[in-house]
Each structure stands twice: as structure tokens, then as C-alpha cells.
Amino acid sequence: MVRNNIIGFTNSGKSDKKIFSWNPTSGLKNSEEGFAVANDEEIEEALNLAKSAFSELSGMSSILRAEFLEEIGNQIILLGDHLITTVVSETGLPDGRVIGERGRTVNQLKMFASVVREGLWTEASIDEAIPDRQPNPKSDIRKKLIPIGPVVVFTASNFPLAFSTAGGDAASALAAGNPVIVKAHEAHPATNALVAEAIQRAASICGMPNGTFSTLYGNGNEIGEKLVSHKEVKAVGFTGSFSGGKALFHIANSRPDPIPVFAEMSSVNPVVVFPEILSTESSQIAAKLANSITLGSGQFCTNPGLILIVEDRDTEEFINLLGQKISESSVSPMLTKGILNNYREGIKRIKNSDKVRTVALVEGFENGTPAIFEVDADDFINDNHLAEEVFGPSSLIVRCQDTQVLKSVIEKLDGQLTGTCFGTKGELIGNEDVLQILQSKVGRVIINDVPTGVEVCDSMIHGGPFPATTDIRFTSVGSDAIKRFARPICYQDFPDSLLPLELQNRNPLNIIRKVNGELTRSSLVKLSVSGS
């Protein structure tokens, strides 16, 4: 049986073109049946269905959406070991990691369900009328966030569950009340099929409108352009390469009606190491960094790809320690042949630079062999290519003579997801200007810990200045991610019964609202001014 595109509640495989996934560990094709790619007719169907689902969803209670999100989580758990073995066969990731990622995915769905129930995310705000205000009466004015419209989600190679079919982008877009069309990742189509069917079942159980969720298979560039330029699509979520994200961003902005693209792309996540802390914690920091660099074969967007060291007497020892740890670390397969080839080429490029010295590298580097290089600050500053992301378990140490040079190196960097500082309290306080410059380049600043491990919580920002993402104003991880797929609307002098529940006088959802400038759960005792 060919696993098909899912278009609302029907499955469809009209094209003879197929895609197949490969087992990164064995190098073999996972199955001979493959997945039929979506043709133009199927794309049209999915988008038209999404349009009509959107208008139905707008009239539904937010409670039902919360239940739907939780049911997706239940259905994913019900997939049991079959999901885990499928992911492992398509990604080469170890069991434990995949089980952990499933947990994170289910927890994210639960988190967005509670965000939806809490209702604070809608930013409901009411300014009551003042009919006798001089010189002009004041109208009754209310606002809240509403869903933006059908959202296309491009899934990530490196998070087959948490940033994929039912991952953060899809979950937050659904939570806000939008239909979602997931473009399945070429590297893990069978994983996509299992999760998509789980979502389809949850949608059916919870009575979601047909077209609330669809998933389409296809070649990234071709289907990507068709989806992002389609008039019914109102926003895009993407996690992947700089070239892919940038291409979608430009397609979206060239539409007659440009739409927002939330692309998380490229980041080398600079780590600053001040000298004093190395006198006591050299070995711990080297171990932490080595672990962070090699975790999951370095295939994390927050992987520390650049280590900026202010030179002092412990520098050599620290670099040696780090090199040693890296040499001792185990080798694991990379997600796809494409990623492995890119990693090899990236490593080759750095290794072949005149100015760069190799600290640790297993010759031959089959699979995702960990590597550490070093370069002097001046040479780094003069070679733009050295600041480019090498996706995988390698890191480049930049040796800075002093903090002035360190600041020049940071100034030169592009936008990043994260920036990290290791230092004693005295070093941190004495170098507040370094932290300030670092902050201007990133979305998250970390003190004395590694950037990998992105906590899913209210205060998380997983984003940053271009080219880390295409929109510095939003996060793709944490509860605020829901705000990407919403837009505000204002209701002036509406009859109470025509207002959405969040803005009705009696506050039927019992949410916190801003009423005449004060945050409160209170209902408004008087009737609305008009329409009563």
C-alpha cells in the first residue's frame, strides 16, 4: 500500500511520483512502497478545504481546540513502539533520544492546550464607552488576537517529532485556531504518516472541521514554492537551512499580499570563555562543551559552533582538554546523506584554510565525526567563511588576545539564536559591555551553561536576528510561539452577543483581560452600549 497524502479526512495519492526514506545506520531504503507526492490538484484540494475549515474553526469554542490538542498527544502515545522504531529507522537517532522527543512533543501539545484554556494569549482588552465624554463621546472598543488563517508548516530534519508533523509549529498554529498543512519531510515520510494519521484520528474524535489538518508529500523546493505562493495560505513556519528559509521568505514577500514567514535557519551560537573561570573550572567547562558539541551528532540548531576564548595562562590547557574530550567522544550516524555530505564539505573547507589549526579530528571522518579547530581572532575576522554554520559535531575556537579583540569578533557576527558566556561573577560584571554586544546579536543569552537544551516554557525565546530567523520578534519554542499565528482585531460598539466569548461582558471563559487599563477576571456588570 502506498502511504498517501492526507487531505482533511481523506487520503489521496494521485501521482505516480514517489519519495522513499533511507535508514542512515544501514544505508538501505526503508521500504519499497514509498509515498506518492502531492500533485497540483491535491495541493488545491488541501488549501480549499483549509479555507472552509478556517471559517468553521472561527466559530468554535477554544475549549474544543484544547481537547483536540490533548487528543493528538493521546493518539501519538497510542502509536506505541511502532512510532519509535519508525523514527529510528528513518533518522538513525538512538531510541532514548526518540522516546524523549516524543515526550517533549506530547508535552508541547499539552502546554498549548493549557495556553488555549487560560486565554491570556488572546490579549483580550476592553475599553468601555464613555457616552458623555466631552468634546466627543467615546465608543466601546474591544480587541483580541484571532487566528491568522491556513498555516503551512515545513518540518525539520533534526527533530522528526518535536519540530515536525505535530511539533511546535503545527501545535501552536492549531492552538491559535488555524488549519495546518504540513509539508512532510523527505527524510522521514513514514514518521510523518504515523503522526499525521494520529492527528487525523484526533480531529475526527474531537469533531474538528474537515481540512483542519492535511499533510502533503513532495520535493521541498517545488511544493514549497507552490504552497507559500498559494493565495489561501496566510502564514508559514519553517525549520531548516538558510537557503531554504530565505527562498520561502522571498516567495512570501513577493506575493501580491505578502504573508509572514517564521523561518528558523542558521546559527553558530557563539560561546565566550573568559580566562579567570578556567583557573578552577577548566575541566568541567571542557566536558560540558564537548558534550554539547557532540550531542545528537551536533545536529541541533543551538549547537555551539564557535568558541571565543580570551587568551591567558590556562588557555592552552583548556583547548587541549576540550580537544581530548572531543577525540574521546563516540561517533554516531548523521540524519541524511545530504547532511553528512554538507558536514564533510564544511569540515574540509575549515581544515584546508591556511589560518586554521586542527585541535581534534578523527581522520577519515566517516559519519558525523566530531572535530575541533582553532584560529586567531584576526584571521577569523578577515575570513567571512569561517563564521558560517557547519551543521554537525564540530566547533571552531577563536583565540582573542584581549576583550577588545573579543568585542570586535562578536561585532562581526551575524544574528544568532543564542550567545553564551562562561566567566566568574567578577568577569561577568566587569564585562557587561561584552554581554551587551552579545545580546544585540542573539535571542537568548546563557551564563555558565551550554546553549543546547531549549526549555519549553513561558520565558523561552528560541529566535533571534536574521539570519538566525526571518522574524526577530517571535519565538518558535515556548508558549509565546502561538502568537506567531495570530493577528489582532478590534470591535467597536458591538452588540454583546456578537462579540467573541473572550470579549463578552460576563467573561464566560473567566480569562484575565485588560479592562479600562487594568488586568482582571471581572465581568462587566452593565450591558453593552449598543445593540442592547
Active site residue 400: no
Of 28, 63, 78, 429, the residue at the interface with its own copies (CB under 8 A) is 429
CB of 323 or CB of 415, closer to its own copies: 415
**Closest distance between its own copies and the C-beta of residue 80, in Å?**
21
**Of 31 and 55, CB closest to its own copies:** 55
Please identify, using beta-carbon distances, which residue of 146 and 205 lies nearer to its own copies: 146
Print the binding letters for residues 144-183 with its own copies: x by CB under 8 A, - otherwise. --x-xx----------------------------------
Per CB under 8 A, contacts with its own copies among 360-419 are: 414-415
Stretch that binds its own copies, among 86-94, 124-132, 189-197, 381-389 (CB under 8 A): 124-132
| Of 189 and 415, CB closest to its own copies | 415
Between 98 and 190, name the residue whose CB sits nearer to its own copies: 98
Neighbours of 21 (CB within 10 A): 23
Of 354, 352, 270, residue with least CA distance to 308: 270
Q: Can you name the residues that pair with 5 across neighbouring β-strands?
A: 12
**Helices (H), strands (E): how many in the chain?**
15, 21
301: annotated active-site residue: yes
Start-to-end CA span in the chain (Å): 60
x-or-dash pattern for its own copies, window 26-45, by CB under 8 A? Answer: --------------------
200-229: which residues touch its own copies (CB under 8 A)? none
Provide the H-helix boundaries in 137-265. 168-176, 189-205, 220-228, 242-254
Q: How far apart are CA 307 and CA 292, in angstroms?
A: 12
Furthest-apart CA atoms within the chain: distance in Å: 82
The one among 28, 78, 457, 527 contacting its own copies by CB under 8 A: 457
Please spell the DSSP secondary structure of 60-84, one letter per residue. S-HHHHHHHHHHHHHHHHHTHHHHH
The single residue of 206, 301, 400, 421 carrying the catalytic annotation is 301
d(CA 396, CA 350): 9
Helix or strand run (H / E) with residue 389: none
Complex with its own copies: residue 120 or 331, whichever CB lies closer: 120
For residue 225 the three cell numbers come to 514554492
Minimal distance in Å, beta carbon 85 to its own copies? Answer: 22
Q: Which stretch binds its own copies (CB under 8 A): 4-12, 68-76, 285-293, 435-443?
A: 435-443
The 3-class secondary structure across 185-204, one letter per residue, is CCCCHHHHHHHHHHHHHHHH
Q: What are the phi and psi torsion angles at 222 (to 5°)?
A: -70, -55
Instruction: State the minimum distance, in angstroms, from the CB of residue 433 to its own copies.
Output: 8
The residues that bridge with 261 in the sheet, in sequence order, are 236
Q: Give, as ranges, the residues between 244 and 283 that touch its own copies (CB under 8 A).
A: 249-250, 253, 257-258, 260
User: 423 and 312 in contact (C-beta within 8 Å)?
Assistant: no
Per-residue binding letters, 48-67, with its own copies (x by CB under 8 A): -------x--xx--------
**Of 184, 390, 428, 524, which one interacts with its own copies (CB under 8 A)?**
428
Binding its own copies (rule: CB under 8 A), the pick from 2, 28, 78, 490 is: 490
* DSSP summary character for residue 465: T
Quick one: CA dihedral 122, 123, 128, 134, positive or negative?
negative
> In terms of CB distance, is 203 or 428 closer to its own copies?
428
Catalytic residue among 101, 264, 281, 389: 264
Q: What residues pair up with 143 in beta bridges, in sequence order?
A: 125, 490
Helix (H) / strand (E) containing 446: strand 442-447
Q: How far is the CB of 253 from its own copies (least distance, A)?
A: 5
> Contact region for its own copies (CB under 8 A) — 141-149, 189-197, 306-314, 372-380?
141-149
- Residues annotated as catalytic are 264, 301
